[in-house]
Amino acid sequence: MVTPRLVGPIAQRFRRDEEGHRFYEIDWHVQTFSQHDNLAYILANWPLFAVGSPYNLTAAWPEAVGTDMWAFCTPELNIAPHRDAADNGPVRHWVVTQYWSTKQSWRCNTFPVENPLLEPADISGDFIHEQRTASVDRFGKPLRHPNLQPITGPATEYQYSYPSISITRNQDVFPLDTCVNLINKVNDAPLWGLPARKIQFTDVKFERKVYGNCFFYWRTTYVFRMDRNGFDKEIPAEGTKVYRGSGARNDPKNYIPAKSDTDENVSVPLDYRGRKLEWIQDLPDGTPQYAYPQWIQTPEILEQGNLLALGIPSSLQ
């Protein structure tokens, strides 16, 4: 089957409305080569501008002059037999009219989607702001007064912000079992440019809708929070009992009460073996130096899961 041949532009028309928007029309002379070729054949094999293309007549027909990169081809299209076509004979010459306009942007698929299940997902988000309390500085050093007591109160409070992402999509079946299984879990593999355990599935909203009188579908919104620091809390080791230095460390009998210089029971910071921090010296800035730093645990409390099982996109690009 031979592709229709573009003979060339026949006529051009232009108008401008009261708002200053520009409108272009071009009549193209198109030739077909079979008596069986019809309007549907031309439409399916149309060789020129696609919907959303800028008005650049020269690119399609070098001998012609006309460019307006702010006017875009609209979905409107007319096809009619050429005026020189013979009466009652097979039509092999046609006039195809295309339209461009600056009034509406047809570049970004603004046509209504007939099937709601084919609609692309909507992605939105914002930042969540909350007050947190710090127990260590950015280097992991515990916040302590000179007497080794922890710094507490408003002085340790600060604002922490992290993004929240909402993905809304239409589905023919709502995956309730999957949502119940994954709610509150974190990603078990890299996702959206972040490593594992940095994204948590926190909420889902769902609503059953009907498309015309044809079928039901579900409008679902999945909510995630993202934190490059993860959601595993850091817990500095401290307690009122310390390891005596001998015996099995998993035997509670080998831990003795922590004492202050005045022989009072106190809570003290602990090293990785559960011992009271052993002071060596004070650094020039007055910071105490210990044989071992205070042990900071980061237990993984939240469970992991494959969040892609929700049907969300693997990329936010």
According to DSSP, residue 251 is labeled: -
Answer yes or no: is pLDDT of 8 > 90. Answer: no
Answer yes or no: is pLDDT of 234 > 70. Answer: yes
Classify the C-alpha dihedral 54-58-61-65 as positive or negative.
positive
Q: What is the pLDDT of residue 45?
A: 72
pLDDT per position as a tens digit, 296-316: 888 888 999 999 999 999 888
DSSP result, 91-113: --EEEEEEEEESSS--TT--SPP
Confidence of residue 93 (pLDDT cuts 50, 70, 90): confident
Q: Where are the domains of the chain?
A: 5-101, 116-230+302-310, 238-294
CB-based burial label for 4 (10 Å; 0-12, 13-18, 19+):
buried
Name which of 40, 34, 25, 5 is nearest 71 in CA terms: 25
pLDDT per position as a tens digit, 249-307: 888 888 988 888 788 888 888 888 888 888 888 778 777 778 888 888 888 889 999 99
pLDDT-above-90 percentage for the chain: 28
Paired with 94 in beta bridges are 30, 81
CB-based burial label for 129 (10 Å; 0-12, 13-18, 19+):
exposed
Classify the C-alpha dihedral 148-152-155-157 as positive or negative.
positive
Contact 307, 187 (CB under 8 A): yes
Kindly give the pairing relationship between strand 235-236 and strand 5-16.
unpaired
pLDDT per position as a tens digit, 114-133: 677 778 888 999 998 989 88
The per-residue pLDDT of the chain, averaged, comes to: 84
Q: What is the pTM of this model?
A: 0.56
